[in-house]
Amino acid sequence: MAIMRLGRVQIRVPNWEKSVHYYKNVIGLIETARDENHVYLKAWDEHDHHSVILEKADSAGLDHLAFKCETAEDLDIYEQKLIEYGVEVDRIPAGYRIAEGEAVRFRVPTGQLVELYHEIDVVGNGMPLVNPDPWPDGLVGMAPPRLDHLLISGDDVEGTTKLFQDIFGFRIAEQLIAEDGESKIATWLFKTNTPHDVAIIKGPQGKLHHIAFWLDDWTEIRKAADLMGKNKVMIDAGPTRHGITRGTTIYFFDPSGNRNEVFCGGYITYPDSPTITWTTEDIGRAIFYFEREVNERFTTVFS
CATH 3.10.180.10 correct for 146-300: yes
CATH fold of 3-117 reads 2,3-Dihydroxybiphenyl 1,2-Dioxygenase; domain 1 (3.10.180)
Active site residues: 149, 196, 210, 242, 251, 261
Q: How, if at all, do strands 276-279 and 171-177 pair?
A: parallel
The domains of the chain are located at 3-117, 146-300
Q: Identify whether the C-beta of residue 54 lies closer than 8 Å to the C-beta of residue 19.
A: yes
Q: Where are the beta strands (DSSP E) in 43-86?
A: 52-56, 61-69
Q: What share of the chain is helix, strand, coil (3-state, %, to 5)?
A: 20, 40, 40
Secondary structure (DSSP) of 2-47: -EEEEEEEEEEESSHHHHHHIIIIII--EEEEE-SSEEEEE-TT--
Tell me the pLDDT of the chain (303 aa) as tens digits.
599 999 999 999 999 999 999 999 999 999 999 999 999 999 999 999 999 999 999 999 999 999 999 999 999 999 999 999 999 999 999 999 999 999 999 999 999 999 999 999 999 999 999 999 999 999 999 999 999 999 999 999 999 999 999 999 999 999 999 988 889 999 999 999 999 999 999 999 999 999 999 999 999 999 999 999 999 999 999 899 999 999 999 999 999 999 999 999 999 999 999 999 999 999 999 999 888 888 889 989 999
d(CA 220, CA 254): 19
pTM for the full predicted model: 0.96
